[in-house]
């Protein structure tokens, strides 16, 4: 039996579902209704070009937004509109938001089809509303080309209306269940006992499978199960079946299984509740050959592979523009002499931080292209992060773009950074490139991820209370759990003069900026120039970031994609998971290796003290008397080596 919460967090993905407050899987309950999200830009006053068009309010100005709702049934509804406006929703006045942009809409006002939102400001005190141009919307999402115009303006108190060229930034967030979602279990090895993690296994085959759910299915809802089986310890298309109905024929030699539970509902206010799935299987174990019964596992390390539900797209490090970037800027020389992979990234970060002086792009916002940014030698935190990310990619290290903000906090506002996958530490590491530092655990000196820093902020600045964006922390709080490495330093030290405030009474202070954290779901900005948020960093209104949420972090209703699944942000790459099966021939083990490695080149195998050699996914290991050790790792197409898994037997 696998509990739903364990399958949710440890499995291969959870899309369109979430955990409820009891650890059960239910349907995801967020639907964003908008027309502007893909193309919205910034109205920052200092921008001379690329500025989003706006409608200025006068006492007689009215603006109207038509929001098309497919399913009006919802438990809550929230408008995202400018603060301080007079609001009518389908002709009914709403209480304006004076201090934030989220306004509650009584769900009784919602109707199927077109719903009208009318805004005006009788005071007209420098109020305006942003517009996403049609070209910017379609550039990021071509499928919207056929949508009707849904934004209108009146200059005569609403007597007459004219459509505008674009769409107003007015959005509606409905708390209603999506029609369907799915959770995929971890790989289950039916050839061994459930609590046995020793990678030495006997040959086995699944002869029959029965899956049953512990679930509630109110009227209009259901849960359907499917399964797939394979011969390798990680799902791979070549060695696994497609999804099949439970009870389908299982190929010989398959002893790994995954189940998929798909939740359905025809009612937006009802969801099935999945508590667990029980697997009952008839398994034929062929037994250990006689010679292997005296085989002893001395030690082993088998990497854990965690999967993200985010549809992340990886750039190929051998993309011609990345190859040219690496060569033009002699990036191998930049990182030369570094003794570890992390030290390489620190040297690279320091190099990028020195390439130009911070200067926000007032004109001609640059593309997400490191070479062009380095040629211009201007930019702010976004450009520092993009350059570092693409330089890391060019050296074969996968990276991702991250940003956060905490309005009103002492170091609040928004700030763009990135994380790089560390084969050395087997995790994502957060690098602040513009400010040229990274955070580490004060006790272990292990570099921290963005999510770990976020957790520390909640603990230090808010305790066990939900964070209140209207009352942000204004005082720096020292913490014994965090330290900072500046410049090229690999160990924490006293901050440079301009960052002296980071160090108080012999301790580093916890930042507050990373309350709301957001991820771009791709890094392949050369392979696909769009979709991307327009003028990122001058605002944060693009609708399609992936946003972290937890019980203490307030909701930001202008976004679509939220996750509280840690594996969605802590997923792993470049690692080898394996199993060893004794063969009929005395002294021979068959190693089966599997991985999730973007742009993989080959498996590498090392026997005892021999050199590393390339290998296929299966490797026949001939043992000799005494102690035998095999090490396994991945190499990607750039020559970067993943962490080592190993097995030692005698």
Residue 124: pLDDT above 70?
no
Are the C-beta atoms of residues 205 and 250 closer than 8 Å to each other? yes
> In whole angstroms, what is the distance from residue 51 CA to residue 584 CA?
71
Per-residue model confidence (pLDDT) at position 121: 87
- The CATH number assigned to the domain with range 30-175 reads 2.60.120
Within this chain, domains 2-27+178-286 and 576-649 share the same CATH topology = no
Q: H or E segment at 5?
A: helix 4-10
Q: Say if residues 385 and 433 touch (Cβ distance below 8 Å).
A: yes
**Residues 331-350: pLDDT tens digits?**
999 999 999 999 999 999 99
The pLDDT of residue 97: 67
Q: Let me know if 360 is exposed, middle or buried by CB neighbors in 10 A (0-12, 13-18, 19+).
A: middle
The string of DSSP letters for 331-360 reads HHHHSTT-SSHHHHHHHHHHHHHTSS--B-
The mean predicted confidence, pLDDT, of the chain is 95
Per cent of the chain over pLDDT 70 is 99
- CATH T-level assignment (fold) for domain 2-27+178-286: Jelly Rolls (2.60.120)
Q: How large is the average pLDDT for residues 22-38?
A: 97
Note the pLDDT tens digit of each residue in 253-273: 899 999 999 999 999 999 999
pLDDT in tens, 51-108: 999 999 998 999 999 999 999 999 999 999 998 889 999 999 998 766 678 999 999 9
- Tokens at 339, concatenated: 């003794």
Q: What is the dihedral angle through the alpha carbons of 140, 144, 149, 153, rounded to the nearest 10 degrees? A: -20
Q: CA–CA distance from 345 to each of 133, 288, 350, 392, 571 (Å)? A: 39, 46, 9, 7, 20
What are the Cα distances from residue 635, in Å, to 74, 595, 615, 616, 642?
49, 11, 11, 12, 6
Q: Please, which pLDDT band fits residue 287 given cuts at 50, 70 and 90? A: confident
What average pLDDT score do residues 122-127 get? Answer: 74
Q: List the CATH code of the domain at 576-649.
A: 2.60.40.10
Q: Which CATH architecture has domain 320-532?
A: Roll (3.10)
pLDDT in tens, 182-196: 999 999 998 887 777
Q: What does the pLDDT read at residue 99?
A: 66
Give which of 98, 114, 29, 115 is closest to 106, Cα–Cα: 115
Assign 5 a pLDDT band (cuts: 50, 70, 90).
Answer: very high
Cis peptide leading into residue 650 (ω within 30°): no
Pairing status of strand 561-563 against strand 546-548: parallel
Report the pLDDT value the prediction gives residue 98, as an integer from 0 to 100. 66
**Domain coordinates in residue numbering, the chain:** 2-27+178-286, 30-175, 320-532, 576-649
């Amino acid at each position: 039996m696998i509990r739903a919460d364990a399958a949710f967090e440890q499995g291969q993905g959870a899309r369109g579902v979430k955990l409820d407050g009891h650890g059960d899987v239910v349907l995801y309950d967020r639907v964003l209704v908008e027309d502007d999200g893909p193309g919205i830009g910034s109205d920052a006053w200092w921008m001379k070009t690329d500025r989003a068009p706006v409608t200025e309010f006068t006492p007689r100005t009215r603006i109207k937004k038509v929001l098309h709702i497919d399913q009006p049934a919802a438990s809550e509804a929230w408008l995202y509109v400018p603060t301080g406006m007079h609001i009518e929703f389908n002709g009914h006045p709403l209480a304006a938001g004076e201090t934030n942009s989220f306004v509650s809409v009584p769900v009784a006002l919602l109707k199927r089809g077109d719903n009208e939102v009318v805004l005006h400001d009788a005071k007209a005190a420098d109020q305006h509303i942003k517009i996403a141009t049609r070209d910017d919307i379609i550039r990021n999402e071509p499928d919207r080309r056929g949508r009707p115009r849904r934004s209108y303006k009146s200059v005569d108190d609403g007597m007459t209306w004219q459509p505008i060229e674009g769409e107003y930034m007015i959005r509606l967030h409905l708390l209603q269940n999506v029609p369907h979602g799915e959770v995929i279990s971890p790989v289950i090895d039916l050839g061994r006992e459930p609590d046995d993690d020793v990678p030495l296994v006997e040959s086995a085959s699944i002869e029959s499978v029965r899956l049953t759910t512990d679930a509630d299915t109110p009227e209009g809802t259901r849960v359907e199960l499917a399964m797939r089986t394979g011969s390798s310890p990680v799902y791979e298309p070549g060695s696994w079946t497609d999804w099949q109905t439970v009870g389908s024929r299982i190929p010989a030699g398959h002893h790994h299984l995954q189940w998929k539970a798909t939740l359905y509902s025809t009612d937006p206010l009802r969801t099935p509740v999945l508590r667990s799935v029980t697997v009952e299987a008839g398994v034929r174990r062929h037994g250990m050959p006689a010679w292997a019964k005296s085989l002893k596992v001395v030690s082993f390390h088998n990497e854990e592979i965690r999967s993200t539900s985010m549809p992340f797209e990886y750039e190929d490090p051998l993309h011609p523009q990345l190859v040219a970037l690496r060569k033009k800027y002699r990036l191998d020389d930049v990182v030369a002499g570094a003794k570890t992979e992390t030290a390489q990234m620190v040297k690279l970060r320091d190099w990028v931080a020195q390439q130009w002086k911070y200067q926000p792009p007032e004109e001609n916002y640059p593309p997400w292209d490191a070479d062009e940014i380095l040629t211009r030698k201007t930019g702010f935190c976004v450009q520092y992060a993009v350059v570092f990310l693409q330089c890391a990619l060019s050296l074969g290290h996968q990276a991702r773009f991250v940003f956060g903000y905490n309005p009103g906090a002492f170091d609040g506002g928004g700030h763009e950074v990135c994380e790089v996958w560390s084969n050395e530490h087997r995790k994502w590491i957060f690098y602040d490139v513009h400010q040229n530092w990274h955070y580490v655990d004060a006790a272990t000196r292990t570099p921290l991820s963005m999510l770990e820093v976020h957790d520390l902020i909640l603990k230090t600045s808010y305790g066990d209370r939900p964070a209140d964006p209207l009352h942000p922390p204004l005082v720096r709080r020292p913490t014994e759990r965090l330290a900072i490495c500046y410049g090229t330093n690999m160990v924490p030290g006293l901050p440079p003069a301009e960052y002296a405030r980071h160090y108080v009474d012999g301790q580093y202070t916890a930042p507050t900026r990373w309350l709301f954290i957001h991820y771009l779901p791709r890094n392949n900005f050369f392979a696909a120039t769009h979709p991307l948020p327009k003028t990122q960093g001058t605002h944060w209104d693009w609708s399609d970031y992936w946003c972290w949420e937890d019980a203490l972090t307030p909701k930001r209703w202008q976004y679509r994609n939220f996750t509280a699944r840690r594996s969605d942000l802590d997923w792993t790459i470049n690692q080898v998971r394996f199993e060893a099966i004794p063969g009929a021939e005395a002294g021979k083990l068959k190693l089966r290796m599997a991985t999730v490695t973007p742009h993989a080149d080959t498996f590498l195998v090392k026997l005892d003290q021999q050199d590393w050699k390339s290998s296929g996914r299966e490797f026949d290991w001939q043992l000799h008397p005494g102690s035998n050790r095999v090490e396994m790792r991945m190499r990607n197409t750039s020559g970067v080596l993943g962490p080592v898994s190993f097995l030692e037997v005698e």
